[in-house]
Amino acid sequence: MSLRPRARIHLANIVDNWRTLQAEQVAGTTAAVVKADAYGHGIKDVVEALHDAGCDHFFVAHSFEGEQVRRALGSHPIIYVLNGPGPYEEPLYRTQALTPVINSDHQFQTLVTWLQTGGKLRNGYALHFDTGMNRLGLPVSDVTSIADAVIGMEPTLILSHLACAEDPENGMNAFQLKQFETVTEKFPAIATSLANSGGVWLGKDFHGALTRPGIALYGGGHPPDNRPLKPGMTLEAPILQVRQVAAGETVGYDATYRFEEKTWLATVALGYGDGFPRSASNKGFATIEGLRCPIVGRVSMDLITIDISSALHLARPGVYAQFIGPEMPLEEQATLAGTIGYELTTGLTPRVKRIYN
């Protein structure tokens, strides 16, 4: 038996989550954001499962990720590259039929040069306008001049990105929607996309022609209570050793945890070398058959120690403890570690064996 940690990837759950998100749409289509190796879940297997279920619009960050999706799915789906094109990538976008997202004046000039010199983009291009994130995006103030410049070579999609969609009461959402409407008025016949995962739950005014959820596909984010999502993965690691420690003893590097009474511990084969954050030291939990076992002491590179007092009758070498999954929700574990679900799943290293079911 291997002593590696493992992530069981629940492809059926990811598909069900996509269908739940699709059901929120009054009209339009739900895409899938699969950048960063499908948020650590494995891009090839995830896109194949989603495509089989009917998803035919995918978003990645980099062109090489777009190539991965194209190899997996063939010629049919639309693949958007969020970070946009480099100046010498026109042949790649053409041969792989990738759709560049134009984010800056420099990229816009690159695109115009391509199109004016006979470059062909089979699936068109998208324009990204910055409505308040102040990260990537063309200025809203330039929308009129940009709209005039693309007459006769119009984009296939206009998009922007919400900064505070996970907080439905945040006034930034309404501000960005109004800014986006200012943009889309100049492109009345062009499809639009504003909603990320959190934006899907904000309602139809935010949906446009294409929503593009990411973390929600994998069971993360903060959906309304009546929209349950399923975990995209179960992260588990085997117990290597069980031991008893006496009151007054400590555990782990820097002796950060001291026991007030005699306690049973299990040492588990998982650590920050596998991508599980050190910030979960003395804060996070594992579960054994649903029974919570607190992390005690430092998370080290290869090992974590957990208090198995609640599960002593179950814990023994070879038994797997769960760190993300049905018994240990992704966002709860992330909050305990002082981070977000995105970081927990995308940070898992190749030492964690992926198992698809």
Helix (H) or strand (E) holding 238: strand 233-245
Measure the CA–CA gap between 306 and 19, rounded to whole angstroms: 37
Q: How many residues does the chain have?
A: 357
Question: In the 8-state DSSP scheme, what is residue 295?
Answer: B
Distance CA 197, CA 224 (A): 12
**Alpha helices, DSSP H only, in 63-125?**
63-73, 90-95, 105-116
Cα dihedral: 196, 202, 204, 210 (round 10):
0
DSSP letter string, 27-71: SSEE-EE-HHHHHHT-HHHHHHHHHHHT--EEEESSHHHHHHHHH
Which run of H or of E encompasses 180?
helix 171-184
Q: Do residues 40 and 345 lie in contact, with contact meaning Cβ atoms separated by under 8 Å?
A: yes
What tokens appear for 136 in the block? 């990537």
CA torsion through residues 292, 333, 318, 262, sign: negative
Residue 262: Cβ within 10 Å count: 12
Known catalytic residue at 253: yes
What burial letters (b/e) apply to 277-316, b meaning 16+ CB within 10 Å? Answer: bebbbbbbbbbbeebebbbbbbbbebbbbbbbebbbebbe
Contact 21, 220 (CB under 8 A): no
The active-site residue, picked from 120, 178, 204, 253, is 253
The pair of structure tokens assigned to 216 is: 């929600």
Q: Is 186 annotated in the active site?
A: no
Give me 46's structure tokens.
């995830």
Q: Which tokens in the block code for residue 114?
A: 């391509």
Q: Which residues are known catalytic residues?
A: 35, 253
